[in-house]
Amino acid sequence: MNAPQQALPGSKAALPTLGLREFWYPALLSKKVGKKPVPIKMLGEEIAFFRDDGKVYALYNRCPHRGLPLSCGRREFPGTLTCLYHGWTFNTAGECVAALNEGPQSSIPGRVKVRSYPTAEINGVIFVYMGNKEPRPLEEDIPEELMTTSNIVHTHIEEWNCSWMPALENLQDSHDIFVHRRSLFYLFRKLPSWATVGVSLTDDGRGVDIRYDKMGPAQAEYETVGKYPRQVWWRRFKINSPRPGQYPKTELRLPGVVRIGFSDLMYVRWAVPVDADHVRAFLFTSRHATGLNGFVYRLYYAFIASWIFLRFFIGQDKIVFEKQDYSAPERLSQTDTGVIRWRRLVAEAARQEAGDDAIEAKFGAGQLVNG
């Protein structure tokens, strides 16, 4: 009996609107960062990314002096970023090494610091760690299919006008067979009429696995409304129709990473909170293909997959979560079990981080001032 889950909390109130902090996040494409600093807002905080001697650095995007964005500054000396306003100059670790307007005798250098963030550059994407603790090992946060160098990894970035939570919950239920039934992607597939959801925690306790537990036939008979869906002749061919157990498993991991494994390709959607009302989505596809296979796959991605999947299919999702009134009362059900488990996981992680936030509050957001 799939009774409506009235008792389950799954409350939205305990979710951190600006995301979790003690995790690595993708920030932007490698090719976007050169000597000229680039400002990126994420987790409600602005960061200036810049490259020096090949490596990428990230500083909190406010000069501690008078609050000018450091991304307005420039590279006056190797290994530094100089603020546009008064020439306070910071090294890649965020330490002020010179206050140009005050001269060599200024007592500012060595006494002022701007927060710097650890970064990593993997497969053409820059990752950043914004937490207060020691950065976690990259492998714990970044899925292996994004870190491997033997796969072809494509990255497509979108900004959506909604909070990060609906953008992730979108992949935790059985909306798939309903919203996308009329997509090109599913056009020739024989989809189940309905599905119930099975949920389990991942082995490391940091993610939720969702799979279709039971699946209805291609067409079901509803007592009240009759048959659904309407059968059309072109779906008879059963091209690519998944059978029970074959439907791709969806994993949703902290801090907000969805992984869907297809037979030959991993799809990863990583939702990075920008602010309370915007999310930056990194849509990764990773596939092992070399030689001619690789060439054909690249063509397929560029001219077919990126349109059929990223534009049209994801475009249908975008309509849904941008329109969703996430503040409205809700009535969760069996197929939302994954949503509920996921929210619990996030709320628990947020509670753990609260201690760190208390520490940060002493120094001000993004600011580390030395004694």
Residues 27-66, interacting with a second copy (CB under 8 A): 62, 64-66
Answer for which of 216, 242, 248, 261 binds a second copy (CB under 8 A) is: 216
Q: Is 218 a residue that touches a second copy (CB under 8 A)?
A: no
Site for a second copy in 136-155 (CB under 8 A): none
CA proximity to 272, closest of 118, 162, 122, 355: 162
Site for a second copy in 313-352 (CB under 8 A): 319-320, 323-336
Q: Is 296 a residue that touches a second copy (CB under 8 A)?
A: no
- Of 141 and 176, nearer to a second copy (C-beta) is 176
Site for a second copy in 227-266 (CB under 8 A): 228
Site for a second copy in 170-209 (CB under 8 A): 173-175, 177-179, 193-196
Query: Residue 207, exposed/middle/buried by CB under 10 A (0-12, 13-18, 19+)?
Result: buried
Place of tokens 């995790």: 23
Q: Is 68 a residue that touches a second copy (CB under 8 A)?
A: yes
CA proximity to 27, closest of 94, 124, 135, 171: 124
How does DSSP assign 58-112, residue by residue? EEESS-TTT---GGG-B-SSTTEEE-TTT-EEEETTSBEEEETTT-TT-S-TTT-
CA proximity to 43, closest of 110, 118, 131: 131
CA dist., res. 258 & res. 168, Å (int): 7
337 C-beta neighbours (distance < 10 Å), count: 23
- Of 220 and 354, nearer to a second copy (C-beta) is 220
* Cβ at position 71, least distance to a second copy in Å: 9
Site for a second copy in 90-129 (CB under 8 A): 97-109, 111-112
* Cβ at position 345, least distance to a second copy in Å: 19
Q: Is 2 a residue that touches a second copy (CB under 8 A)?
A: yes
